[in-house]
Amino acid sequence: MYSNTGYLNHSDIEIEDNIHPLIIGSCGIYRMLTVPALRTTRPQGRRDYQLLYVFGGTAVFQKCGRSFTAPAGTFIVYTPGEPQDYEYSASRKTEVCWVHFSGKEVPDLLRQAGFDREGILDGGILPEYHQFFLQMIQELQFGRPCYEDLLALLFRQLLMTVRRHSLECGPDRVRIPKEIQEAVHYFNEHFSEPISIEEYAKNQHISVCWFIRSFRLAMGMPPMQYITSVRLNRARMLLESTDYPIQEIGAMVGYDNPLYFSRIFKKQMGEPPSRYRKH
């Protein structure tokens, strides 16, 4: 069995903390290679929380009065005092990451991440998850300056990534295609230049109709409106934090005609650039 673990202060102690926001007590990775089976049974549970992530093969869990086989991509949470009973095996090629944690903000963090009442969530198989666990293990093993704060940050990033994946794969959300991600990056770098949506789509060898429709679904607005919002947000920032002339600011964000810049700024922001700057 492959094992890589790290413990807070190099000690496997169950931490029960309701004062601090979040504390990571230990973290590890198990891979079942030759050992036939590894079963964990804790009838009284633990004093802290435990999150397990099956990233390879399957594992068998006894939870909430039922037995089930968790496939790769499954997250399981055990709360303090909850009985624990689960088994890994070489025949199932089980690969599992786990982390023990505590803190007063934990219930809210788990709820926001999307865990149901049983503490089960299909988070999918993402390389980022495994990397978060590896980073937490290394922080615990080396104990470098500020490592406790970094541990909490890494754990929060893990839960936020789980939540993002669930939202993007849910029925009310469309995963952002690679072509749209590249377009957003391009628009934010080249917003001050003349941009033709038709020319951009042609250069990327994609259909203009597909691009506009997909962009709207992913970003909530058509591409030209998105570019306008980027330009005006940058103009607003320049009006607030610099003393550049308004005409020059308009040119800096892509509007050579100062009258058109003033008109479109007023339409979006409710007042012309000169009055906005005074306010």
The amino acid occupying position 97 is C
Is the separation of the CB atoms in 41 and 84 below 8 Å? yes
Candidates 21, 3, 161, 168; CA nearest to 95 is 3
Q: Which of 169, 194, 219 is the last residue of a domain?
A: 169
Distance, in Å, from the CA atom of 22 to the CA atom of 37, rounded to the nearest integer, reads 33
Q: Residue 246's domain is classified under what CATH number? A: 1.10.10.60
Whether residues 106 and 14 share a domain: the answer is yes
Distance, in Å, from the CA atom of 257 to the CA atom of 278, rounded to the nearest integer, reads 22
Q: Residue 150's domain is classified under what CATH number? A: 2.60.120.280
Distance, in Å, from the CA atom of 165 to the CA atom of 126, rounded to the nearest integer, reads 9
pLDDT for the residue numbered 125: 86
Whether residues 144 and 187 share a domain: the answer is no
Whether residues 142 and 206 share a domain: the answer is no
pLDDT for the residue numbered 260: 94
Whether residues 14 and 116 share a domain: the answer is yes
Per-residue DSSP letters for 42-100? ETT--SSEEEEEEEESEEEEEETTEEEEEETTEEEEE-TT--EEEEEETTTT-EEEEEE
pLDDT in tens, 17-36: 889 999 999 999 998 887 88
Average pLDDT estimate for 35-50: 93
Across the chain, the runs of DSSP E, i.e. the strands, are 2-7, 23-31, 37-42, 49-56, 58-63, 66-71, 74-78, 84-89, 95-102, 120-122
pLDDT in tens, 261-271: 999 999 988 89
Tell me the two tokens of residue 185: 């990056």
pLDDT in tens, 60-94: 999 988 999 999 999 999 999 999 999 999 998 99
Average pLDDT estimate for 168-188: 79
The number of beta carbons lying within 10 Å of the beta carbon of residue 76 is: 23
Q: Which residue has the tokens 């025949």?
A: 91
Q: Which of 118, 148, 169 is the last residue of a domain?
A: 169
Whether residues 32 and 73 share a domain: the answer is yes
Distance, in Å, from the CA atom of 88 to the CA atom of 69, rounded to the nearest integer, reads 10
Candidates 121, 124, 125, 113; CA nearest to 158 is 113
Query: What domain range is 21 assigned to?
Result: 2-169
Whether residues 150 and 265 share a domain: the answer is no
pLDDT in tens, 234-262: 998 899 889 899 999 999 999 999 999 99
